[in-house]
């Protein structure tokens, strides 16, 4: 008599436990990195041009040789105090290499401070770009009737911002020291999300707070599109059960990768169901 073949048992899949996600939050100064890079580039550029910091529109009188003095062999008379320098109108200050380097540094530094001071949502940055384009076209239109470019050029020629290579390198060194301090002290306040609990380590003596991960929900927010463009920074909002307030983690770098890790962790959480037989067994 033939017997029915037994149904093969389904394959047992091993559950790989997630090791957890470690999340660090950083202060706003971390976004000054473009200024750091610009300071290094400007310092190298100043070394290349010979570290010139003099005003090109002014020439030292000591370099000017008087014809009468050279013919007679007598020393030339010393100039008065108010005649210590002679102007050279043909030279341009604003377009000189040392001034261009200084203006580039100041422009990047100013924009960097603006990014750190104000949050720029997506629609705000689009509106600012359109506003800047509209103002630019309006100025060009006014220049056709009122010839605005000469006064603008005269105003720019009055600007002369120059620093030597040592200033740029020292500025970059100070930022690097701050970055090193931030990198070391970040372990004084960080979050670790494990499959069974959330740990908040903070304080110099590693004070620990624990939260459950059961029914944990989280949101990813991008409050500043420019900070996101710089270091992929954003905000994580953790909604922990039985907690009245949500947990806000600001300035999380590379937030997209953290989001993917949290999704993997949520999928790897094990849910254990207690059977009736286990409930009937005595403890």
Mean pLDDT of 217-225: 88
Asked, for residue 225, whether it belongs to a domain, the answer is yes
Residue 83 has pLDDT above 50, yes or no: no
- pLDDT at 40 (0 to 100): 96
Domain that holds residue 220: 211-268
CA distance 26 to 129: 28
- pLDDT at 53 (0 to 100): 84
pLDDT digits (tens, 9 = 90+) for 172-199: 999 999 999 999 988 888 888 888 888 8
Helix (H, G, I), strand (E, B) or coil at 250: strand
pLDDT digits (tens, 9 = 90+) for 32-65: 999 999 999 999 999 999 988 887 777 544 444 4
Asked, for residue 92, whether it belongs to a domain, the answer is yes
Residue 8 has pLDDT above 70, yes or no: no
Mean pLDDT across the chain, nearest whole number? Answer: 78
Residue 1 has pLDDT above 70, yes or no: no
Residues 140 and 238 occupy one common structural domain: no
Residues 134 and 225 occupy one common structural domain: no
Residues 175 and 215 occupy one common structural domain: no
Residues 38 and 171 occupy one common structural domain: yes
Residues above pLDDT 70, as percent of the chain: 76
Residue 203 has pLDDT above 50, yes or no: yes
Number of domains the chain contains:
2
CA distance 238 to 217: 6
């Amino acid at each position: 008599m033939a017997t029915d073949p037994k149904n093969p048992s389904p394959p047992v899949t091993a559950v790989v436990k997630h090791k957890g996600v470690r999340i660090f939050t950083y202060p706003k100064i971390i976004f000054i990195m473009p200024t750091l890079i610009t300071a290094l580039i400007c310092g190298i550029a100043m070394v290349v041009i010979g570290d010139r910091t003099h005003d090109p529109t002014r020439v030292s009188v000591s370099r000017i040789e008087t014809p009468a003095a050279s013919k007679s062999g007598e020393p030339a008379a010393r100039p008065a105090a108010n005649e210590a320098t002679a102007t050279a109108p043909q030279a341009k200050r604003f377009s000189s290499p040392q001034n261009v380097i200084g203006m580039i540094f100041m422009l990047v530094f100013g924009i960097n401070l603006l990014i750190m001071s104000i949050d720029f949502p997506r629609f705000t940055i689009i509106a600012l770009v359109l506003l800047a384009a509209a103002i630019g076209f309006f100025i060009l239109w006014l220049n056709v009737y009122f010839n605005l470019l000469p006064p603008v050029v005269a105003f720019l020629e009055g600007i002369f911002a120059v620093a030597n290579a040592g200033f740029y390198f020292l500025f970059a060194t100070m930022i690097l020291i701050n970055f090193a301090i931030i990198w070391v002290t970040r372990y004084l306040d960080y979050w670790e999300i494990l499959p069974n609990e959330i740990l908040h380590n903070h304080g110099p003596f590693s004070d620990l707070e624990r939260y459950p991960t059961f029914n944990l929900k989280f949101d990813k927010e991008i409050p500043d599109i420019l900070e996101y463009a710089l270091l992929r920074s954003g905000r994580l909002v953790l909604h922990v059960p039985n907690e009245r307030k949500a947990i806000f983690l600001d300035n999380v770098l590379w937030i997209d990768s953290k989001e993917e890790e949290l999704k993997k962790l949520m999928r790897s959480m094990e849910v254990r169901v207690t059977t009736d037989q286990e409930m009937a067994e005595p403890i």
